[in-house]
Amino acid sequence: MMLSSCISGKKGLFRLLALICLVSASFSYSIEKAYADVPTVLQIENLSQGTFGRIRIQIRHANPSGGHYVDQLEVIGRKGGESMTKIVTLQPQSSNPFTVEVSEEVGVTIVDAYVKVRAHCSLHGWSNWSDEVQVPEFHELASTVIVAMVASALVLRRKRRA
């Protein structure tokens, strides 16, 4: 009854519309932004052997489908004062998280460089850059094997002298 008396006439209708706009505006300030599901680079793992650079990248991206997937990776390798960037094109994924292996064959120096990666979603755009990861010249396992071989050779050499 009270609402109908407020709306009577043009002045009342104007007041009702003004009230609706005011309430809508007040709600818009209290609602937080909704962020789209932009991919996240979870991990970069060094798979390099000797002087051949290779990394494995693990990426989280929810609900992949044929039209919503990580379609590109941007890889930057920085060595000394030089920086090289390469875009790697990907096929649609069916799992989350998923991994991609990238080698120096794509045109970016990986061995003995600092590498960072970001992923591009076909719907939501680019992710943030990953942390920069140093890829040593020799893989850690290879370095350990080399040190063990050198130590063994030195021990054998000393035994022969004795």
Number of H helices, E strands in the chain: 3, 8
Residue 102, both tokens: 């990238």
Q: Is residue 51 in a domain? A: yes
> What is the full DSSP assignment across 79-113?
ETTEEEEEEEE-PPP-SSSEEEEEEGGGS---TTE
Answer yes or no: do 58 and 116 share one domain.
yes
What is the structure's pLDDT at 25? Answer: 58
Q: What is the pLDDT of residues 67-104, one digit of tens each?
A: 889 999 998 888 777 778 888 888 989 888 999 988 87
- pLDDT score for 139: 47
pLDDT at 113: 79
Same domain flag for 47 and 13: no
pLDDT for res 1:
45
Q: Quote the number of domains for the chain.
A: 2
Structural domain contains residue 155: no
Regarding whether 22 and 88 lie in a shared domain, the answer is: no
Q: Is 151 a member of any domain?
A: no
pLDDT of the residue at 71: 92
Strand partners, 135: 113
CATH number reported for the structural domain that contains residue 112 in this entry: 2.60.40.730
How many degrees, rounded to 5, is the angle at CA 98 between CA 95 and CA 99?
150
Name the residue range of residue 26's domain.
1-31
Same domain, 64 and 114: yes
Residues 66 and 95 in one domain: yes
Tell me, what amino acid is at 105?
E
For the chain, how big is the Rg over CA atoms in Å? Answer: 29
Instruction: Calculate the CA dihedral of residues 122, 69, 109, 147 and round it to 10 degrees.
Output: 160
Answer yes or no: do 53 and 130 share one domain: yes
The pTM for the full model equals 0.60
Contact criterion met (CB below 8 Å) for 127 and 73: no
- Residues in the chain, pLDDT under 50: 1, 6, 30-34, 139
Residue 62 domain flag: yes
Q: Is 74 found in the same domain as 18?
A: no
